[in-house]
């Protein structure tokens, strides 16, 4: 059965990560996504290598891994939107689309006659989503925003890294472009909500997404810690500010994470290591007490944990319902039996490589399951198909556009 968004068409004028991540999610769900790219070079991330995808002869292609991570399931149409004809094609496609996504600077597309009001005039039901660094309003609206900058401005780096006074102290960037990725996810949520609204009313609408807004919204419990206590959270390294013991511990041959979330789990752990009296110690009887005496507790626990191998702890503690797991490298992640069982690595056919590995979508549907039918497209791979099938242009008209360097 087709995916849950089958029959929905998305016109995608976004590039890099936040917008493409959103449209890849929509493509995974069955939407038809037409990705409009510059004739020369296409999406910026096509060039963000190495590493590059290998072809069937094990030679590097021009397909960068970064681009491949966020563009599966889409149809690539090259188009020069600086030309009148290029812009006309965008409007014609918008008239036949449900969703329009872009991440140009504020006002850029409106100046080209491709703003929300312009497209709403040809398609009143269109859902138009703009993704920018700082949003459409405010003193920084005109400025470009990048994930690293947003991680700093949005407070994430202030709570990520080793605590002051400890070796290696200082703010750290999170190892993924989390501001981009979460903005892409919020965009998809907003679009789905707008689709529901349109289903009830027939009205499309405009959605304004900002990386900074998303990062601030994503501060979650840490922002609430600040609002509640008046104390600004800081970096705590590997341990949790509100729960203890909830951190990595050194074992005989490496590290494990032990994540004890309640008093019952803590008592079972203490019984397991033969020191139930530790659970009755006034310093550790409740989570609140354990948080206040975290360092003392961690020192005691590590004395026991370091006597045995990681594998022993990971096998034994889950048996008594005490969460325990490894700190995996990315190659180890995909060797995890649980990850394999959940289908989080898949293969998709690719015109240059024969096939390529992809990270699976975590959504699992009972009826409209996700299928991976199309690899991230090569630049302009689908230009003829999109123009012919959707807009009804003849081969001669398409060839004329190509000779005129419109596509």
* Prior bond of 186 cis (ω within 30°): no
Place of tokens 């090569």: 378
Catalytic residue status for 58: no
> 339 is written with which tokens?
């990850």
Say if strands 324-325 and 74-78 run parallel, antiparallel, or are unpaired. Answer: unpaired
**DSSP E strand boundaries for 93-185:** 99-102, 127-132
Distance CA 383, CA 76 (A): 6
Distance CA 407, CA 403 (A): 8
DSSP secondary structure code for residue 231 in this structure: P
> 109 is written with which tokens?
């597309």
> Within 10 A of 282 (CB to CB), how many other CB atoms are there?
8
Helix (H, G, I), strand (E, B) or coil at 253: coil
Cα four-point dihedral sign 184, 188, 7, 120: negative
User: Could you say which of 12, 147, 180, 213 is catalytic?
Assistant: 180
Distance CA 28, CA 361 (A): 7
Distance CA 381, CA 76 (A): 6
> What is the set of active-site residues?
180
């Amino acid at each position: 059965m087709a995916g849950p968004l089958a029959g929905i068409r998305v016109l995608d004028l976004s590039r890099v990560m936040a917008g493409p991540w959103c449209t890849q999610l929509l493509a995974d769900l069955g939407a038809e996504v037409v990705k409009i790219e510059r004739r020369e070079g296409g999406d910026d991330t096509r060039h963000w290598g190495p590493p590059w995808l290998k072809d069937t002869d094990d030679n590097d292609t021009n397909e960068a891994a970064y681009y491949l991570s966020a563009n599966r399931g889409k149809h690539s149409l090259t188009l020069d939107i600086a030309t009148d004809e290029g812009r006309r094609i965008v409007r014609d496609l918008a008239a036949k689309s449900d969703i329009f996504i872009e991440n140009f600077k504020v006002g850029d597309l409106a100046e080209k006659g491709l703003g929300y009001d312009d497209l709403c005039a040809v398609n009143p039901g269109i859902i138009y989503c703009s993704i920018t660094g700082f949003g459409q309003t405010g003193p920084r609206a005109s400025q470009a925003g990048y994930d690293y900058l947003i991680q700093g401005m949005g407070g994430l780096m202030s709570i990520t890294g080793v605590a002051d006074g400890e070796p290696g102290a200082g703010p750290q960037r999170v190892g993924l472009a989390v501001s981009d990725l979460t903005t892409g996810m919020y965009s998809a949520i907003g679009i789905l909500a707008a689709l529901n609204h349109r289903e009830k009313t027939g009205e499309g609408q405009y959605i304004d997404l900002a990386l900074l807004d998303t990062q601030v919204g994503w501060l979650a419990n840490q922002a609430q810690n600040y609002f509640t206590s008046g104390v600004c959270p800081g970096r705590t390294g590997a341990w949790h500010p509100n729960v203890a013991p909830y951190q990595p511990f050194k074992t005989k041959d490496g590290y494990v994470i032990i994540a004890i979330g309640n008093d019952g789990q803590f008592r079972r752990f203490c019984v397991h290591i033969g020191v139930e009296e530790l659970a009755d110690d006034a310093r550790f009887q409740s989570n609140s007490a354990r948080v206040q005496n975290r360092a003392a507790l961690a020192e005691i626990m590590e004395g026991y944990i370091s006597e045995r191998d990681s594998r022993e702890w990971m096998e034994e503690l889950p048996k008594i319902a005490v969460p325990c797991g490894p700190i995996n490298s990315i190659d180890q992640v995909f060797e995890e039996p649980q990850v394999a069982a959940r289908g989080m690595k898949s293969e998709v056919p690719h015109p240059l490589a024969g096939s390529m590995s992809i990270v699976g979508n975590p959504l699992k549907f009972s009826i409209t399951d996700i299928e991976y039918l199309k690899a991230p497209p090569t630049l302009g791979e689908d230009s003829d198909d999109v123009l012919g099938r959707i807009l009804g242009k003849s081969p001669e008209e398409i060839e004329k556009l190509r000779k005129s360097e419109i596509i």
